[in-house]
Chains A and B, each alone.
Chain A
Amino acid sequence: MKITVIPTCTPVTHYAFNGETITAFCAGEQEDFDLSSLVASAEFQSVVVDALDTSPSQIIREAYRDEAGELHVTLCQGVGSGHWEASDILDSASYNPDTVYVKLNQEKAFSGTPKALTRQGAV
């Protein structure tokens, strides 16, 4: 599975991957999202959230399966001050829940201290 991480105000701290199931972690709760039923011709609209206290778009923003059968997923990482941009595309096998994947653009002025959410909290 290929993933891209975009900066948003999500409270989700990190994710885990098991096959094509993504587990999102938020405020001591976790929820599984099985994307295996997403076929190449399908147009992703949203996941359904039951356990986590946030909106679906703040967890999995986009997903599609390419013609080779590989799943591509856009996940959210929470950020605060600063001008943040999307991550590079990475393989889910290399995902580290303690890493800030979104990119901070330090060339643009902002107020406050830049921080992003990981498994360790706001770092």
Chain B
Amino acid sequence: MTDTTQTRQDPHVWLRRKSRWSVTEIAFWVIAGTVPFLFFPTYLTLASQIAIAALFALSVDLVLGYAGIITLGHAMFFGIGSYAAGLITKTGWGEPLTGLLFACAVTAFVGFLTSFIIIRVRHLALLMITMGLGLLTVELANSMSWLTGGHDGLQGVDVWPIFNRFEFDLWGYTAYAYAFIALLIGVAISRRIVHSSFGLALTGVRENITRMPAIGSEYRGHLQTIYVISATMAGLAGALLAQTTETASLDTLSFQRSADVVVMLIIGGTGRLYGGIIGAIVFMIARDQLSGVNPQYWYFWIGLLLVIVVLVMPKGILGGLARLMGRRN
């Protein structure tokens, strides 16, 4: 957003330059891909959970950070993806990659249906609709306990080894590698999306929704498209969770999860793709460490953190870092 002076050049050159992988990014992926295996082998399960949470936060960043759709019910897609991936194994087909595809297809379909409701509303009504749809799904899943297992969760999920070779082990080696690769692919796709003309149009919608139609850009289609993409990605994250933990529970659909993912994203910084990842790392590690101390009061610190982030660092950790770097230059 800062180099507006260069936009006079061919816009495609500008977009292409913006979409180049930077050294920091590559270093980040190399570290994330090796350090947990080499130095924290006992924390690989946590690492896989972080990667899944990061993918989920990334999906929320696409709608919230780029398109400006505030959602308090995205766990709906996470949970539906989770149940879809779990349920397909119960039919006797436990192949993980096709399971992921199936879960993505289901959530994309649900996302497409709900996107018609989402684009109709703004402000408070939007908050309420997203929250309402999320709660509705929880109630549905709870009352259809013959399918979902109700409060006990989905039992007997059996996932085959990936490529018939890599079994999901107790230590989480496979789980982390699997979730890590999925996250990397998710980021690559998201980068491609936000650094395209479509991504720019989304930012335009976020900045000024009434001006977009005035300059000839129909925003409804854009919003629907990104909403479906985001729903699919959230479903993918949920499916990964179901496959790596071999269970699906009502908790994956809960309002708490919708709120947590927004908190992660805000802590990291919205509209930056990596914000959700940083936020997920900070949030999950902090919860892992603090929940041993006093699980009951854990949300006090989250609340305090939110208040501080909003008042002091409205752009999150990454936004704060970017400002510091900018000042130094």
Answer yes or no: do A and B interact. no
Residues of A that sit less than 8 Å from B by CB: none
